[in-house]
Amino acid sequence: PLETCGCVASMDKVNEHLTVWGTFQAPHAVRTVASLISGIPEHKIRIVSPDIGGGFGNKVGVYPGYICSIVASIVLGVPVKWIEDRIENLTATAFARDYHMKGEIAATGDGRITGLRCRVIADHGAFDACADPTKFPAGFFNICTGSYDIPVAHLTVDGVYTNKAPGGVAYRCSFRVTEASYFIERMIDVLARKLDMDPAELRMKNFIAKDQFPYSSALGWEYDSGDYHGAMEKALKAVDYDGLRAEQKANREAFARGETRRLMGIGVAFFTEIVGAGPIKNCDILGLGMFDSCEIRVHPTGSAIARLGTISQGQGHATTFAQILATEIGLPASQITVEEGDTDTAPYGLGTYGSRSTPVAGAATAMAGRKIRAKAQMIAAYLLEVHEDDLEWSVDRFQVKGTPERFKTMAELAFAAYNNVPPGMEPGLEAVSYYDPPNMTYPFGAYVCVVDVDVDTGVTDIRRFYALDDCGTRINPMIIEGQVHGGLTEALGIAMGQEIAYDEIGNVGGSSLLDYFLPTAVETPAWETDYTVTPSPHHPIGAKGVGESPNVGGVSAFSNAVNDAFAHLGLTHTQMPHDHWRVWKTAEKLGLTA
């Protein structure tokens, strides 16, 4: 993230109250850790996290700098500030994706996959700083069977310690799902080359069918819903896939005749992500169940405030959660305030990461809203002198069935809740919901990337990128579009240039943005976005989450495109990042450079 990690700790020795302001993705978890380490009772610690300038998983963990500032303030009795500079951020902040993956895939001659094996060496740096669920020290890498109906799979992950900065923090990938997706999507492409099949055709042959959902994968996950064939068919039609392959054939023939020095590559990728961590039965961090929460208070004048255990970092929570509530309780979104990030006022929650905000906190919001509406229905029945079952909900009001002219609006019921409730009912209109999801949610997507590679310079131009995402029920299309654009841009950076490199004595070689690839408008193509809608059957509003999906699917799409450009020359695989030098070296090894 552009904003580095940092905090200000202030210990009030008179009241024995500690306040910490910082860019935290999980404020309540930080409070619990601070209490455990300092011995200060949790109710005397206040953590305040504003709408932070980007997190991407990087700010979930509790860094030593946080603890040092807290201890210093306790000892000195004055506020103490700690904040990283850019060199410290790129050198010492927890890394992601230092995974070394080796796979084997078995298939019949006609392309039906029969088995998958994967061995991973995970570099965790000098010590384990994972913000992973306790039961999943390798994150959710066991989603590595992807979108395919693979009957048998085996996975081993060995964590190793090195003299690098701590690793293991996901970077916009929901606990190692980007790595898992990259693994299976590269394996599928390699298999397609070995079988002399089209990569899209091989994927279609092995997709989980729509009528197989809910689907239990070979490695233990239960996928909630999906229409993979429909999504891929829509994507291939949208980009004129057959036309692209015909153009590529002509390009290769022209290259062989010496008429061009550029090779065209087409990257196809299909991903299934696992988000919405998560069910307490199998997800916790530091022993804290990964539920989330929402507290709603409706005021007499018909406005409302909702407090949540998440924290926004650019996802538009104030808009999305207000829209969910507006639908559930019938008040205008403009009359609903969403408040997050202050542990003194917000109910306990596990924060924002892993695309869990809408799947978990959004569900809590909907459930709390339904509690509000249920109480309002009882008040409406009392005021209209009918039975509750004689009322029906319509947008912003309860009306009598068969006589819609008899109704009470939610604004009227809000006022009545404070002065005219049924006998025996407590006044007021408030509700709290703690939501423990019954399962993860499984968004998916089909991506197609078209590149042109200059074999003499290694420069790769992204000519076209089409991204189809299915995130279940779509709450705010504009926010979804922004999330997809941002995730694809980060995927571009990861696939095409980002690397923390070390010299022979262990110094970090890319510790500034002069050396570390940060995509700008110059390098970023115009994204073409599309969607299908397959609601999650177990989520209260059918939403699945979308924040990390474009990163998960985008990385393998870029990599597949670069590899595809050289595939006809015998290349099986070349590693990321696909910067100019590495691409040029690939061309050189194939004897293509001048």
- Catalytic positions, please? 25, 172-173, 548
Rounded Cα distance between 215 and 210, Å, is 9
Q: How far is CA 236 from the centre of its chain?
A: 25
Beta strands 444-454; 460-470: pairing state = antiparallel
**Cβ atoms within 10 A of the Cβ of 151, count?**
11
Chain position carrying tokens 């500030």: 81
Rounded Cα distance between 391 and 365, Å, is 23
Rounded Cα distance between 332 and 45, Å, is 35
Kindly report the backbone phi and psi dihedral angles of residue 107, in degrees, each rounded to the nearest multiple of 5, phi listed first.
-155, 160
Question: Which candidate, 4, 74, 62, places its Cα nearest to that of 33?
Answer: 62
Q: Which two tokens stand for residue 367?
A: 């459930």
DSSP strand E in 360-396: where?
391-394
HSE-CB for 112 with a 13 A CA cutoff: 4
Beta strands 80-83; 6-12: pairing state = antiparallel
Chain position carrying tokens 């042959």: 205
Helical axes 177-195 vs 549-566, angle rounded to 10°: 30
Contact 58, 52 (CB under 8 A): no
Residue 202 to residues 116, 145, 185, 234: CA-CA distances in angstroms?
A: 15, 14, 11, 16
Kindly report the backbone phi and psi dihedral angles of residue 254, in degrees, each rounded to the nearest multiple of 5, phi listed first.
-65, -40
Rounded Cα distance between 297 and 344, Å, is 16
* Amino acid letter, residue 201: E
Question: Which candidate, 539, 357, 347, 322, places its Cα nearest to that of 433?
Answer: 347
Rounded Cα distance between 113 and 148, Å, is 8
Residue 166 to residues 43, 97, 172, 189: CA-CA distances in angstroms?
A: 31, 12, 17, 32
Beta strands 336-339; 304-308: pairing state = parallel
Residue 251 in 3-state DSSP? helix
Q: Is 203 left (phi over 0), alpha (psi -120 to 50) or beta?
A: alpha
